[in-house]
Amino acid sequence: MQRLLRNTENKVRVRRVRWTLLMFSCLCQVKMGKKHMDDVEIKALIQDMIAAATDTSAVTNEWAMAEVIKHPQVLKTIQQELDSIVGQDRMVQESDLVHLNYLRCVVRETFRMHPAGPFLIPHQSTRATTINGYYIPKNTRVFINTHGLGRNTKIWDNVEEFKPERHWPHDGSRVEISHGADFKILPFSAGKRKCPGAPLGITLVLMALARLFQSFDWSPPEGLRPEDIDTTEVYGMTMPKAQPLIAIPRPRLPAHLYD
């Protein structure tokens, strides 16, 4: 990262900046103009952008794949929705995602059971306050237990069961994945400090899963039953599977669509 930063600074000085380095160039211009960002802040910002956009999306996709393959009826329902709305003569596009309500339920249920960030990003109170009878002193470090929130038996029934249908709206409206009006899940936090990349993250996850489920039938390796897929978690800043998912794809669309 340090070497990349230095190389980009040199290119900025001689005005030989590629479009692919535009983001780095803008950050370097800020630094060279003696604004508020130094090397440490620039590197931290770049790492945040890379880590927040890649690791969390990859973890969520793997969990969704694992749960769907573990529940073949869910996969069948997803593919029925895709065939009905998109068809099998073209690939799903981003414009289709708003109409894939069952797939949106699957992603929301994945966020409920397996939030990529189980405690979100730590926050700190700027002043003393009282919330629902709890006194919170100034400068208190606050973590939001989204993993516990998604398995709260006062809110959810059968918390250990992967059941996308629980999120289906009775009025047929679009399923809100981020948190919705009820705030029952908070995969991206909420309020002024919520994740600014939430819309992009949701689109990345939906698009990847839609393409994977439209293009292929999925099953566990030979000798392993779907219900035996391991869903053990590893806790940390993110919460990936303890064991990587191994799955077998079988094409289900016309051959020319894979070219």
Tell which phi-psi region holds residue 248, choosing left (phi > 0), alpha (psi between -120 and 50) or beta. Answer: beta
CB 67 within 8 A of CB 105: no
CB 251 within 8 A of CB 216: yes
26 is in an annotated binding site: no
Contacts of 200 (CB under 8 A, 6+ apart): 53
DSSP structural state of residue 21: G
Element (H, E) at 63: helix 39-70
Question: Residue 206 corresponds to which amino acid?
Answer: L
CB 216 within 8 A of CB 249: yes
pTM over 0.85: no
Secondary structure class of 147 (helix, strand, coil): helix
Q: Which two tokens stand for residue 47?
A: 């790492």
Q: Which domains are seen in the chain, by residue range?
A: 55-258 (1.10.630.10)
Neighbours of 125 (CB within 10 A): 14
By CB atoms closer than 10 A (0-12, 13-18, 19+), residue 65 is: buried
Query: What is the structure's pLDDT at 23?
Result: 54
Mean pLDDT of 123-144: 94
Q: 204-251 pLDDT, tens per residue?
A: 999 999 999 999 999 999 999 999 999 999 987 789 999 999 999 999
Q: How many CA atoms lie within 13 A of 182 on its CB side?
A: 12
Contacts of 182 (CB under 8 A, 6+ apart): none
Mean pLDDT of 88-99: 97
Confidence label for 136 from pLDDT (cuts 50, 70 and 90): very high
Q: How many residues does the chain have?
A: 259
Q: 29-63 pLDDT, tens per residue?
A: 555 555 566 777 777 777 776 666 678 899 999 99
Cα(168)–Cα(105) distance, rounded to whole angstroms? 6
In Å, how far are 39, 53, 89, 237 from 203, measured between CA atoms?
A: 31, 11, 22, 22
Cα(104)–Cα(165) distance, rounded to whole angstroms? 10
Contacts of 31 (CB under 8 A, 6+ apart): 9, 37, 38, 39, 42
Q: 167-207 pLDDT, tens per residue?
A: 999 888 999 998 777 788 998 888 887 888 888 899 999 99
